[in-house]
């Protein structure tokens, strides 16, 4: 038996635009995504000689074939015709679920990377990301990590220049948002403010943190905030302590801020901790 270890990094949507509904029922997206240092830790025992098993430290996470990490292992083994002779996947969960941080996708991506390494890397990173699209929309990016433009349903990736040095504070309020319901809602509202992804790319190319912050934009943010005004409270705390930008990530409900230094980030974090237990400080990875 061999034990594999892999980190599963959360993601933020620096920009997120919904371009329209496709014939298959999904929506075309355009998003600049960023991997951050909030992480789950994945351990995989290969060759247990027993039926597949998944364990997770969080109680609300499925531990059967519904879990994306399990799905990822199955897709990898099926497509590459590998027989691991029994797997046990253990997830040490730190990324909040229902937050828009891609926790389940990050776990799936970590499983794909770990198994690919175990079998002497039969797939390139981009081929592995392509395989990840069969598991979930955010999995391809979570395989790649770093900074990238993500398009289509999440399957089209283009690497972008790394984010300049900064600090993120991420706050997950007590509520979560139904992603399918939010997509239904976005089809019925007029989107007043869309991200300028060209400007975001130019800012990343220049390594200009101020310009990156200016171009942070998520079309879902006003839709969710209109029903959950406490997001404005969280953003106001971030703004008070020098955040260059504050924005919801993904379909929510976590809000992130971009700050220039750790000291202000720590103060903002402490100000929110009493009301919001799930507050994190992170760096780009």
CA dist 54 and 103 (Å) reads: 16
CA dist 71 and 244 (Å) reads: 38
Catalytic residue among 17, 40, 107, 138: 138
Say what angle helices 103-118 and 125-132 make with each other, to 10 degrees: 130
21 is catalytic: no
Q: Region of 25 please: left (phi>0), alpha (psi -120 to 50) or beta.
A: left
CA dist 219 and 250 (Å) reads: 9
Pairing of strands 87-92, 53-56: parallel
172 is catalytic: no
Which residues, 6 or more positions from 226, have their beta carbon under 8 angstroms from its beta carbon? Answer: none
CB of 147 closer than 8 Å to CB of 283: no
b/e map 149-166, b = 16+ CB within 10 Å: bbbbbbbbbeebeebeeb
Q: Report the Cα 236 to chain-centroid distance in Å.
A: 23
Active site positions, annotated = 11, 138
């Amino acid at each position: 038996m061999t034990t594999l270890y892999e980190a599963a990094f959360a993601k933020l949507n620096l920009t997120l635009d919904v371009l329209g509904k496709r014939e298959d029922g999904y929506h075309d997206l355009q998003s600049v995504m960023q991997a951050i240092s909030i992480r789950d830790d994945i351990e995989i025992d290969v060759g247990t000689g027993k039926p597949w098993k998944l364990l997770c430290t969080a109680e609300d996470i499925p531990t059967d074939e519904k879990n994306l990490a399990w799905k990822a292992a199955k897709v990898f083994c099926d497509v590459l015709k590998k027989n691991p002779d029994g797997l046990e996947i253990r997830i040490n969960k730190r990324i909040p679920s229902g937050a828009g941080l891609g926790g389940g996708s990050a776990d799936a991506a970590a499983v794909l990377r770990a198994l690919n390494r175990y079998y002497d890397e039969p797939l390139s990173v981009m081929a592995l990301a392509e395989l990840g699209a069969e598991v979930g929309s955010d999995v391809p990016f979570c395989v790649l990590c770093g900074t990238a433009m993500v398009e289509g349903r999440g399957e089209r990736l283009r690497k972008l220049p790394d984010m300049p040095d900064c600090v993120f504070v991420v706050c997950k309020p007590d509520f979560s948002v139904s992603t399918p319901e939010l997509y239904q809602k976005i089809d019925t509202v007029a989107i007043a403010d869309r991200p300028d992804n060209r400007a975001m790319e130019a800012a990343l190319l220049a390594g200009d943190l101020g310009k990156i912050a200016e171009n942070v934009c998520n079309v879902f943010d006003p839709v969710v905030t209109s029903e959950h005004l406490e997001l404005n409270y969280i953003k106001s705390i971030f703004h008070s302590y020098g955040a260059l930008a504050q924005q919801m990530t993904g379909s929510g409900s976590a809000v992130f801020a971009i700050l220039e230094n750790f000291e202000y980030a720590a103060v903002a974090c402490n100000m929110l901790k009493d009301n919001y237990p799930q507050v994190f400080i992170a760096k780009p990875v």
